[in-house]
A and B are shown apart, each in its own frame.
Chain A
């Protein structure tokens, strides 16, 4: 298992391969990031925060040359978080409890896997995709699934830990996206798991500290 590239985005900083690329100052930091990256994808503004974070993280990562070789179903998407779609769930509930009518554009985002759909649509990727819900960042979940992916013939996995969580007062408690692109090999994936999981935890924690 070989790390090709990683990105980490949160309100504090936008990083690619551990290096800060943008610093943000506004409350609507996702919009600010989109503008700073000079992207042109109007559908972005309709997305929920999970999809926005995953989208921006991937756009940042796509400057890597490896993306010239990625097409169709080359990549398996493996994503996870602890809060599923909690943030949008609460917004949807609010739409029918307080805003007058249940909102269809919010409802369609009350599933955490929608973000993988947004990435697939943007990049025309037809490969496998799964979203998991864990109780904390679980590196071995990612390495196990990447090992399975390699055994099933895949060479590349795009993994993501994407969280958009509100606290009991409906204030943002944690919003972050850690994306990592990994080359996997059928012959070596089994033995590679333990070391890679350990490296992954370090990579995640290092990215979290500014």
Chain B
């Protein structure tokens, strides 16, 4: 699971063009869409949906579910594990 989390961090940094961020900067439980986390926005949430489908074959058809799934690296990794 921790490998998945590290992989996710790299994928997110690349997919969302987070140039000034390294995987070490992202805490597993930090709220990604909060200013205290990465301060991501609604377009970033949509890119997460693309990332899930392209890299993990998981399709999300309701973007409003994004808030719970993409809350943090922990919740995202758990979701992927449960839906593989």
Q: Is the CB of B47 within 8 A of A105?
A: yes
Chain B, interface size: which category?
10 to 19
| A45 with B44: CB separation less than 8 A | no
Interface string of A5-40 (1 = CB under 8 A from B): 000000000000000000000000001000000000
Q: How far is the CA of A101 from the CA of B20 in the complex (A)?
A: 25
Shortest CB-to-CB span from B48 to chain A, Å, is 10
CB contact list, B40-57 vs A, under 8 A: 43-44, 46-47, 50, 53-54
Question: Is the beta-carbon distance between A46 and B17 smaller than 8 angstroms?
Answer: yes
Contact between chains at B19 and A103 (CB < 8 Å): no
Partner of B46, one of A42, A100, A105: A105
Q: State A42–B40 Cα separation when bound (angstroms).
A: 10
B41 to chain A, nearest CB (A): 9
Partner of A42, one of B39, B50, B53: B39
Please provide the chain A residues from 143 to 163 with a CB less than 8 Å away from any CB of chain B in the complex: none
Q: A42-B20, A45-B20 are in contact. Are A105 and B43 (CB under 8 A)?
A: yes
Q: Residue on A with the closest CB to B54?
A: A100
| A99 touching B54, Cβ below 8 Å | yes
Judge whether B4 is part of the interface by a CB distance below 8 angstroms.
no
Chain A residues with Cβ under 8 A from B53's Cβ?
100-101
A103 contacts across to B, CB distance below 8 A? 47, 50
Q: In whole Å, how far is B14's beta carbon from the nearest beta carbon of chain A?
A: 11
Contact bitstring B21-51, A, C-beta under 8 A = 1, else 0: 0000000000000000001000110110010
Contact (Cβ within 8 A) A45 B18: yes
Residues of chain B with a CB closer than 8 A to A104's CB: 43, 46-47, 50
B39 to chain A, nearest CB (A): 7
Enumerate chain B residues within 8 angstroms of A108, measured Cβ to Cβ: 43
Known pairs A104-B43, A105-B16. 17 more at Cβ < 8 A? A42-B20, A42-B39, A45-B17, A45-B18, A45-B20, A46-B17, A99-B54, A100-B50, A100-B53, A101-B50, A101-B54, A102-B50, A103-B47, A104-B47, A105-B17, A105-B46, A105-B47
Could you list 7 A-B pairs, sorted by A, with CB under 8 Å? A45-B17, A45-B19, A46-B16, A46-B43, A100-B50, A101-B50, A101-B53
List 10 A-B pairs, minimum CB-CB distance, nearest first. A104-B46, A45-B19, A100-B54, A45-B17, A101-B50, A46-B17, A105-B47, A105-B43, A101-B54, A104-B43
